[in-house]
Chains A and B, each alone.
Chain A
């Protein structure tokens, strides 16, 4: 389980996370929604220790990762997989090499075993015959699927998805959400999905947390969030221009 306790983070004078508290339930898909630029990706990066808070604690399975040294943090990170907004594939490697990379570096599997695992993972995300292509030869949706194949390959207990459907057309967006759901059913990991795809994200998630001005405004099931009476949550879900959220 991941727990964020009174997490504060500022970049210069800009406060991004302001005494934020959030609990991510084990084995569920939790969506973090909120307007663009509100610090959703920053929040995600705190969960895996890519960023350290100015104050507060980030507890992963009972251990506060904010005070950990490099080696212990790497040990905790072995529980994680992460799919980045732009997939973050290694652009000098082919699709096969990208997906095989964590296996080559973290396991003692033979080449044949690695190849089998990579092909299986690529098949699971619906990609066949792209092994030899380089990331810049793939579409946005394909890149994200390769990223997902790479993220699940070491069977992580927790997977973080940073806007997995941003920039994709509605059909691929739905297919990606479905893929996340299917993969979750198959592997049973805890997932945190940062997204502003409303209402599609409600179909994917078990829990939804709304982030606004550095704080979690509401946490609940998708149905509870959809029924929320909070004006900010209402405006965000309806996509209305009228309300407390102002365009900067």
Chain B
């Protein structure tokens, strides 16, 4: 019994320690953004990697998500004779929920894993130590630009996701299933308010922070060798995805 309590205590302590380190890590990254910002070229490079290079996967995911929403929405609304509301249903689902969440999950899979692996490899090949020995702050080069880039890129990707998804729904609802095109857009305009768009932006900004934070942290403190990097990458993707979903619930309950 005593052994069990001891083990539980040590597990709790190590979790608290890890959480403390993570919080320190993100606070220091934000502090560096303000105190000694990275060169714009480094930030632009990361925006290109996290944002621009995710465009195709976001486009693809958004179009099929919109199309599925069109199909499912039509099926449900037709039961109540409200097919005209399809545009509103598709747009609200995308703008409030699916756009921010799915774009964040796609970016986690595409860019988050790469960020974690890149930093992890730099750790195990002593490239991070090399930066330190040059009296340079590794976080300034490896973490802050990625954090800033994710904060800028995620809302933009989310906006692209929303627009492409709405047109995906339009394609299925209007062109395939015969919903009135005027009704599709009119109902959408009527029901979507600024607070819906605002909640989507707030969500995607915070998801950007979560993804960059967890993926950079896991890579930065990767264990030894190839196995260490592989474990860090897996943990980064799993933890980021789960955190995005958990945080989404809390934010939704606050922003509703």
Smallest CB gap from A154: residue in B: B134
- B134 and A102 contact, CB distance less than 8 A: yes
User: B127, B135, B137: which contacts A88 (Cβ < 8 A)?
Assistant: B127
Contact residues in B for A105 (Cβ distance below 8 Å): 134, 136
User: A90, A102, A160: which contacts B127 (Cβ < 8 A)?
Assistant: A90
Contact residues in A for B136 (Cβ distance below 8 Å): 74, 102, 105-106
Q: In residues 111-136 of chain B, which contact A (Cβ within 8 Å)?
A: 121-122, 125-127, 129-130, 132-136
A48 interfacial contact with B, CB 8 Å: yes
Q: For the complex, count residues of A whose C-beta is within 8 A of B.
A: 25
Distance to closest chain A CB from B27 (angstroms): 13
User: A80, A81, A86: which contacts B126 (Cβ < 8 A)?
Assistant: A86
Contact residues in B for A82 (Cβ distance below 8 Å): 130, 133
Smallest CB gap from A102: residue in B: B134
- B135 and A91 contact, CB distance less than 8 A: no
Q: Give me 8 A-to-B residue pairs in the complex whose CB atoms sit less than 8 angstroms apart, sorted by A's number.
A: A74-B137, A75-B135, A77-B132, A82-B130, A89-B130, A90-B122, A105-B136, A160-B133
Contact residues in B for A84 (Cβ distance below 8 Å): 126, 129-130
- B133 and A86 contact, CB distance less than 8 A: no
User: A74, A75, A78, A88: which contacts B130 (Cβ < 8 A)?
Assistant: A88
- A77 and B135 contact, CB distance less than 8 A: yes
Distance to closest chain A CB from B233 (angstroms): 17
Distance to closest chain A CB from B3 (angstroms): 19
- A77 and B137 contact, CB distance less than 8 A: no
Cα distance A82–B127 in the bound complex, in angstroms: 12
Smallest CB gap from B128: residue in A: A88
Q: A82-B130, A84-B130, A88-B130 are in contact. Are A74 and B125 (CB under 8 A)?
A: no
**Chain B 206-245 interface mask (CB, 8 Å, partner A; 1/0):** 0000000000000000000000000000000000000000
- A91 and B132 contact, CB distance less than 8 A: no
Contact residues in A for B127 (Cβ distance below 8 Å): 88-91
Q: In residues 142-170 of chain A, which contact B (Cβ within 8 Å)?
A: 154, 160
Cα distance A74–B130 in the bound complex, in angstroms: 13
Distance to closest chain A CB from B104 (angstroms): 26
> Which residues from chain B sit less than 8 Å from chain A, CB to CB?
121-122, 125-127, 129-130, 132-137
- A86 and B134 contact, CB distance less than 8 A: no
Contact residues in B for A185 (Cβ distance below 8 Å): none
Contact residues in A for B134 (Cβ distance below 8 Å): 77, 101-102, 105-106, 154
A50 interfacial contact with B, CB 8 Å: yes
Distance to closest chain B CB from A1 (angstroms): 19
Cα distance A154–B133 in the bound complex, in angstroms: 12
Distance to closest chain A CB from B88 (angstroms): 47
Distance to closest chain B CB from A126 (angstroms): 21
Distance to closest chain A CB from B82 (angstroms): 54
Distance to closest chain B CB from A143 (angstroms): 11
Contact residues in B for A80 (Cβ distance below 8 Å): 133, 135
Cα distance A91–B122 in the bound complex, in angstroms: 8
User: A50, A70, A86, A102: which contacts B125 (Cβ < 8 A)?
Assistant: A86
Distance to closest chain A CB from B36 (angstroms): 11
- When A and B form their complex, which 10 residue pairs have the shortest distance between CB atoms, in order from nearest? A77-B135, A88-B130, A88-B126, A82-B133, A74-B135, A78-B135, A84-B126, A102-B134, A88-B127, A50-B129
Cα distance A84–B134 in the bound complex, in angstroms: 12
Contact residues in B for A78 (Cβ distance below 8 Å): 135
Cα distance A105–B134 in the bound complex, in angstroms: 9
Cα distance A88–B136 in the bound complex, in angstroms: 15
Cα distance A110–B135 in the bound complex, in angstroms: 21
Cα distance A124–B195 in the bound complex, in angstroms: 64
Distance to closest chain A CB from B57 (angstroms): 22
Cα distance A200–B30 in the bound complex, in angstroms: 49
Distance to closest chain A CB from B24 (angstroms): 12
